[in-house]
Structure 1
Amino acid sequence: MHNSQKVSGRLLELKTTLDAGLLHRNNLLNTIGAQFEQWDVLVRKEKSIHHTLNMLSLDVTKKCLVAEGWSPVFATKQIQEALQRAALDSNSQVNAIFQVLQTRELPPTYFRTNKFTSSFQGIIDSYGVAKYQEANPTVYTVVTFPFLFAVMFGDWGHGICLLLAALYFIIREKKLSSQKLDDITEMTFGGRYVILLMAIFSIYTGFIYNEFFSVPFAIFAPSAYDCRDLSCRDATTVGLIKVRDTYPFGVDPVWHGTRSELPFLNSLKMKMSILLGVAQMNLGIVMSYFNAIFFRNSVNVWFQFIPQMIFLNSLFGYLSLLIIVKWATGSQADLYHILIYMFLSPTDDLGENQLFAGQKNLQLVLLLLAVISVPWMLLPKPFILKKQHEARHGVESYAPLQSTDESLQVESNHDSHGHEEFEFSEVFVHQLIHTIEFVLGAVSNTASYLRLWALSLAHSELSSVFYEKVLMMAWGYNNVIILIVGLIVFIFATVGVLLVMETLSAFLHALRLHWVEFQNKFYEGDGYKFHPFSFSWLDDEE
C-alpha cells in the first residue's frame, strides 16, 4: 500500500511537471508565433543582403570593397543619394564612391512601364527581350494588338460584356492585388487593361459590322434600301431599291439575313484583312530602318530595308492599291486573276480586268522591281561585310581599335569580337536563308492575315446560330418553360463559347500576327532583362 501511494505521488508530480512544461511551451510558441513571420522576412532579407555582398570584390589595398553592376542612367542621382544616406546612417568615416565604368559588354534592357503598359510589355517579352536600345514593338502593340483582336471579335454586345468584366477587375484593383488568386483569375487580372482595350475596340468594330449578339440595328440612320414590292420579304435582296442616302457608319442593317450577306461580307472582310496585313508588315520593315539608322548600320538600310520595301509593295502593296481602286470605282474586275496572271503571262492584255490606264505597263515595272530586289537582298551584303572585316583587321594589326561601336557595325554573329575568323560561307548561307525566308514569308504572311476574316466569319456565324436556333426557336413555342430553358442555354452558350473560347482564340491569333508576321521584320529579341536587387523577390525564390 505504501509503495502504491509513493508511485501515485510520483506520477502526480511528473504530470504536474509535464503540464507546466506544455503550458510554458504553448506560451513560448504563441509569443514567437506572433512575430515569426517578421523574423522570417528579416532573416531572408539579411541572407539576401549577405548573398549580394558576397558578389563584391576586395580592392588591391584590401581596405575597401568594389561592386560592379548595371543601373539605368536616370537613377544615377537616386543611387548617389542612397549611398550618402547609408554612409550617414552607419556613421561611416569614408563616403562611398560612385563611378561610371566604360565597358564593351552589352547592357541589359530596361523599359519603364506602368500598370497600364506592363501587360503589353509582358506580351512582347514572352517572345524575347529586346536587345539593348533596339526598337520596342510594345509602343505600337498597345494599339494594334487590341485592334486586330477586335477585327476578329466584332460584336458590340459581346464587347460590352468584355468591357464589364475588365471594369470589374479595374474597380476592385486594390483589393484583388493584395489577395492570393488562382492561376486563371490572376492571369485575367494581370491583363485587365489589355482586356479593357480589346473590349473598347470590339465595340467599335461591332458598330462597323453592325452586330449586337448577331442582331443588326439601324442605330445611325434608317437603312438606305426599301422593298420595291412584297417579293423581297422572303429574305432575299431581290426587290430591294435604294431610297435614301447610304448608311453613314458600318454595314447597312438590311444586308443581314439576306442571300447576299455572306458573299458581300466575305469579300469586304477578306480585302480588309489584306489591307491591314500589308500596312502592319510595312510598319515592321520601316522599324527595321530605324534600328539600322540608330545602330549606324548603313549596309542594312541599302541592302535589306530598301529591297524588302520594294519586294513587298511591288506585289502586295500593288494588290492593296487594286483593292482600293476597285472599291472606289465599283469595278467588277477579278483582282486575284490579275495578280496570278501578272506572273504567268505579264504581257497579255487585261481585257475586262483593267482598272486604270497604263495598268499593264505598271505591272511589268513592278514585276521587274520584285525580281531585281531578290539578288539585291542576297548578294551585296556578305561581300560588303567581308570587305569591312578586312579593312578593320588591316588597321588592327598596326593599332588597337578606337571605336567602342565596333560590335554594332557588324551583326553579332558576324565577328563581333574582332579577332574571330570571318567565315564568308557562313555569312552567305545566313543571308541566303534570310532572303528565302523574307520572299516566301511575304506570300505566307499576307495569307496569314486572312485569319482576321476567317475568325470574324466564325464568330459572326456562331453568334447567329445561337441566336436563331436557340433563342428564336424557344420563343416560337409560346411556352414559358421552354423560353426560360432556351434563355439559359443561350446565356451559357454565349458566355462559354463566344465570350471565353472565342476571346481566347482571337487573342492567340492576334498574338501570332504580332510575334510572327510583324516582329520577324525587325525584332531580334536576343537581349536580357534588367533585374535590380529587390526584397519583393523574396517571396518567389531563395
Structure 2
Amino acid sequence: MAIEKMKYVSLSCSKSHLNEMLEMIGKSQPIHPILASQLVEDKEGVLLNEENPYDSYAQSFQNIGHMVGCVLKEKEPTGTYSEAEIQNYIAELNHEFGLDTNGEVEILSEDDEKALHELAPLGFERMKEAQYLNFGLGRLPLDSYKKISLYAGESFSIHKLHSNNQYVWLVYVTSDAYLKRTQKIFHSLFFEPIQIPAFDREKRVQECRWKMMDVYSYCLKQSSILKLYPYVLKKDERYEFDGFVPARKIQSFKALFKDVSIQEKEPSEVSIPCPTILRNNWFTRPFELFVEMYGLPKYDDFDPTSFVAVTYSLIFGIMFGDLGQGLVLAILGFLLEKKAKLFGIIARVGVTSSIFGFLYGSVFGLEEVLNPIHQQIFNVREKLLDVMDGSNTMGLLISAVLLGASLILITMLMNIWNNARHKRWIEVFLSQNGMVGFGFYGFILVAIGARTLYGISLTSLPFMIVFVYLPLLCFLLKERFEAVVEGHSFKPSEGWLGYVVQNFFEVFEILLSFVTNSLSYLRVGGFILSHAGMMLVVMTLMKMTGTAGIVVFIIGNIFVMGLEGLIVGIQTLRLEYYEMFSRYYTGGGTKFVAYSTKSAD
C-alpha cells in the first residue's frame, strides 16, 4: 500500500569500541549501510583499508573439517587467538592428519571406512609400535580371497574385516623375516593395500572438535567485523558508520548500542539516495514481483503495487473467464503461495477468473451447466453473457476498448497527481499524460460517444480550439516551455522552422500512440473469444472420441490452463508495462538490503 518510512542514522564511536559496534551491526541486520567511499565526498574523513586474512583462515578450517569428516558449526567463541596462533594451529592440524601436501588426504570409500572401524579395536598406535610384527591392511577380489587356502603353510595369518559382493577387506600379520615373501603372495592375488593410520583418526577428530570449532568461530567473527570496515569513515579520533533504518525499528536498533553516539536524520536531509521497502497487504503483496521486475519506485515516489494488483487481476480474469479452471488455479496458487510470489499471483487471478467464468456461464468449457442458475439469479432467457454468440462479438471488442480507454485516463490522472507532488508543473499541465493530454484524449472519446449514441457532433470550432488545436500546440511547444523554466530563451537555437519540422513528427507520434494504445486493449476481447474457442475444440474432440472422451476432457483442460494461462498472463503483463506503467511510473529506486555477514560474502 505504501513505501515504508526510513531514517538516516550516523553511528560514531572511539577506536576502542569500533569492533564492538561493528559486531552488533552485523548481528542486528535492520540497516542498509552506506559505503564510506560515498560519504567521503560530502564529509571529511579517511577510509579504512584493512586486509581480511580471517576469511581464508575460516576457509582452511572448513577444508580440514571436510577432509577429516568433522562438520564445523559456528558458535560464540570462548577465547581470542592471535594470527600466529591460528596459523600454527592450522599447520598442526594439517601435519597431524597428513594434509601437508596441498591439503590432500587419501579418500576412503564407505567400505574402506567400515574396515578401518573393524580394525580400530586392535589399536593403530600399538600396530605402528610393534617391533617384530608387520601388518598389512587392504582388500582382495572375492575370487582371490577363495585362493588364500592354497597358502595355508605360509608364515602369515589373516583376519577378515568386511566384505561385499566384489571384495573382501582383511588385515594380515607376519614377522620381519617373512614380510617380503608375504607381500609377494598378496601382490599375486591382486591385493589393494590401504595405509594403516598412525592413530584412530575418528577419535582424534572428536578430541580436536571443540577447539577447531572455537577457533573457526573466532575467525568468522573477526572476518564479519573486517567486512564492515569499507563502510567506516575515520574522522579525527572517531569512527563513523552511516546507513538507513526502517523508522518503525529505529528505537529497537538504537537500544542495541552502548558507548556509541547515534544521530538521526530524515532521508530528505541527506544527498545519499534512500533505499525502498514496499509494504503491502495480504492481497497485493505478491504483485510486488511485477513492480520489482520493472523497477522499484524511488523512496519519495509512490508504490503502484495496489493498482497493479487490481488491474492485473481484473484483466486476467476477464480474458481467462472459466469457473472451473479458475478455481483450480486459485487452489494450486494458495497451496503453493509460500513457495514464491508468483503462486500468490496465480491464486488471485484464479479467483477473478472464477468470478468472470461464472458470469460467462463456463465451467471447464461446459457452457450450459450454469444456465439454470443464471436464469434464476439474473432472470435471463439462457445465460447472462454468451461469449460464443456472434451477436455479442462486437460488443465484447468495444467493451475491451472502453476498458482500455478508462485505464488510460486513470493512469493520466495518476501521472498528474504524482508530478504535482514533486512540483513538476510542465509535466502536470503540458505533457501528453498531463492535463492537456487528459483533456484532448477525453474529448476525443466523448465526441465519438456522442456521435455514435446520440448523433450529436462536438466538432464545432470552439470545442476544436479548446480541446484539439490548443493541446496540439502545447505538445508542440512543451520543450520550449521547459527551456524557459530552466532559464533559457523561449526561441529555439535552430530557429522556428527547424524546431517545428522536428517536433511535428513527435506530435504525430503522440497522436499515433493514443490510437495504438487504445486499440491494444482489443486483445482483451480477443482472448475472451480465443479461450472460449479453444474450449469449444476440446468439447468437440471429447464428443468425437466416445468412451475416451473423459480423458480428452481432462487433458484438454490441463492443456488450455497451461498454454492459455501463460499467454494471457504475459499479455496482461504487457498491458501493465507498456500501456499503463509508461504513462505514470518511472521506477529507478534502490532496493533496501539489510546487512548481514552472509549477504556480504
Q: Sort the TM-score into its range (normalised by shorter chain).
A: 0.5 to 0.7
Do structure 1's residue 222 and structure 2's residue 375 form an aligned pair? Answer: yes
CA contact (8 A) 2:319 2:525 kept: yes
User: Which residue does 2:596 correspond to in 1?
Assistant: 534
Counterpart Cα distance in 2 of 1:112 and 1:459: 35
Do structure 1's residue 154 and structure 2's residue 321 form an aligned pair? Answer: yes
Superposed displacement of residue 146, structure 1:
1.1
Do structure 1's residue 462 and structure 2's residue 534 form an aligned pair? Answer: yes
CA contact (8 A) 1:382 1:427 kept: no
Superposed displacement of residue 306, structure 1:
1.2
User: Which residue does 1:300 correspond to in 2?
Assistant: 427
Counterpart among 40, 43, 66 of residue 240 in structure 2 = 66
User: Which residue does 2:200 correspond to in 1?
Assistant: 23
Superposed displacement of residue 247, structure 1:
5.3
Higher helix share: 1
Counterpart Cα distance in 1 of 2:579 and 2:133: 97
Counterpart among 327, 341, 344 of residue 190 in structure 1 = 341
Q: Secondary structure at the match of 1:472?
A: helix
- TM-score where L is the length of structure 1: 0.65
Measured against aligned partners, the alpha-carbon deviations of 1:13-39 in whole angstroms (never above 9, x if no partner) come to: xx9995344731x44557889999999
Q: Secondary structure at the match of 1:451?
A: helix
Do structure 1's residue 355 and structure 2's residue 453 form an aligned pair? Answer: yes
Counterpart Cα distance in 1 of 2:248 and 2:506: 37
CA contact (8 A) 1:110 1:530 kept: yes
Counterpart Cα distance in 1 of 2:494 and 2:275: 30
State the aligned residue count.
411
- Change beyond 3 A, Cα 1:95–1:458: same
Question: One-letter code of the match for 1:95?
Answer: V
Alignment of 1:329-348 (within 5 A): none
Alignment of 1:359-374 (within 5 A): 359-361=456-458, 367-368=464-465, 369-374=467-472
CA contact (8 A) 1:169 1:192 kept: yes
Do structure 1's residue 275 and structure 2's residue 337 form an aligned pair? Answer: no
Aligned-CA RMSD value = 4.1
User: Which residue does 2:544 correspond to in 1?
Assistant: 473
Counterpart Cα distance in 1 of 2:420 and 2:510: 21
CA contact (8 A) 1:315 1:367 kept: no
- Change beyond 3 A, Cα 1:190–1:2: closer
Counterpart Cα distance in 2 of 1:291 and 1:507: 28
Question: One-letter code of the match for 1:190?
Answer: K
CA contact (8 A) 1:382 1:428 kept: no
Q: Secondary structure at the match of 2:373?
A: coil
User: Which residue does 1:212 correspond to in 2?
Assistant: 363
Question: One-letter code of the match for 1:488?
Answer: V
Measured against aligned partners, the alpha-carbon deviations of 1:80-137 in whole angstroms (never above 9, x if no partner) come to: 2233xxx2xxxxxx33322427323432332224665443112012112223322322
User: Which residue does 1:415 correspond to in 2?
Assistant: none
Counterpart among 38, 43, 47 of residue 223 in structure 2 = 47
- Change beyond 3 A, Cα 1:64–1:262: same
Do structure 1's residue 385 and structure 2's residue 508 form an aligned pair? Answer: no
Higher strand share: 2
Question: One-letter code of the match for 1:198?
Answer: V
Structure 1 unaligned spans of 5+: 88-93, 178-188, 225-243, 323-337, 339-353, 394-421, 476-482
Question: One-letter code of the match for 2:401?
Answer: I
- Change beyond 3 A, Cα 1:66–1:474: same
Superposed displacement of residue 378, structure 1:
2.8
Measured against aligned partners, the alpha-carbon deviations of 1:444-491 in whole angstroms (never above 9, x if no partner) come to: 11111111111111110001110122x22233xxxxxxx1x3322331
Measured against aligned partners, the alpha-carbon deviations of 1:257-301 in whole angstroms (never above 9, x if no partner) come to: xxxx44223112201211210111111101111111111222222
CA contact (8 A) 2:336 2:344 kept: no
Q: Secondary structure at the match of 1:98?
A: strand
Measured against aligned partners, the alpha-carbon deviations of 1:31-55 in whole angstroms (never above 9, x if no partner) come to: 8899999998986675344212332
- Change beyond 3 A, Cα 1:435–1:134: farther
Counterpart Cα distance in 2 of 1:276 and 1:120: 21
- Change beyond 3 A, Cα 1:32–1:378: farther
Alignment of 1:503-542 (within 5 A): 503-535=565-597, 537=599, 542=601
Measured against aligned partners, the alpha-carbon deviations of 1:45-77 in whole angstroms (never above 9, x if no partner) come to: 7534421233201112xx221112233344332
CA contact (8 A) 2:276 2:591 kept: yes
Question: One-letter code of the match for 2:303?
Answer: N
CA contact (8 A) 1:314 1:367 kept: no
Alignment of 1:320-331 (within 5 A): 321=449
Counterpart Cα distance in 1 of 2:400 and 2:593: 40
Counterpart Cα distance in 2 of 1:16 and 1:297: 83
- Change beyond 3 A, Cα 1:515–1:2: closer
CA contact (8 A) 2:333 2:346 kept: yes
CA contact (8 A) 1:57 1:66 kept: yes
Do structure 1's residue 166 and structure 2's residue 333 form an aligned pair? Answer: yes
User: Which residue does 2:176 correspond to in 1?
Assistant: 6
Question: One-letter code of the match for 1:218?
Answer: N
Counterpart Cα distance in 2 of 1:33 and 1:151: 63
- Change beyond 3 A, Cα 1:199–1:295: same
Superposed displacement of residue 168, structure 1:
2.4
User: Which residue does 1:91 correspond to in 2?
Assistant: none
Superposed displacement of residue 5, structure 1:
3.7
User: Which residue does 1:289 correspond to in 2?
Assistant: 416
Q: Percent identity?
A: 19
Q: Secondary structure at the match of 1:78?
A: helix
Superposed displacement of residue 160, structure 1:
1.5
Counterpart among 176, 200, 208 of residue 351 in structure 2 = 200
Counterpart Cα distance in 1 of 2:504 and 2:273: 27
CA contact (8 A) 1:220 1:248 kept: no
Question: One-letter code of the match for 1:460?
Answer: A
CA contact (8 A) 1:152 1:456 kept: yes
Counterpart Cα distance in 2 of 1:118 and 1:41: 38
CA contact (8 A) 1:155 1:212 kept: yes
Superposed displacement of residue 372, structure 1:
2.6
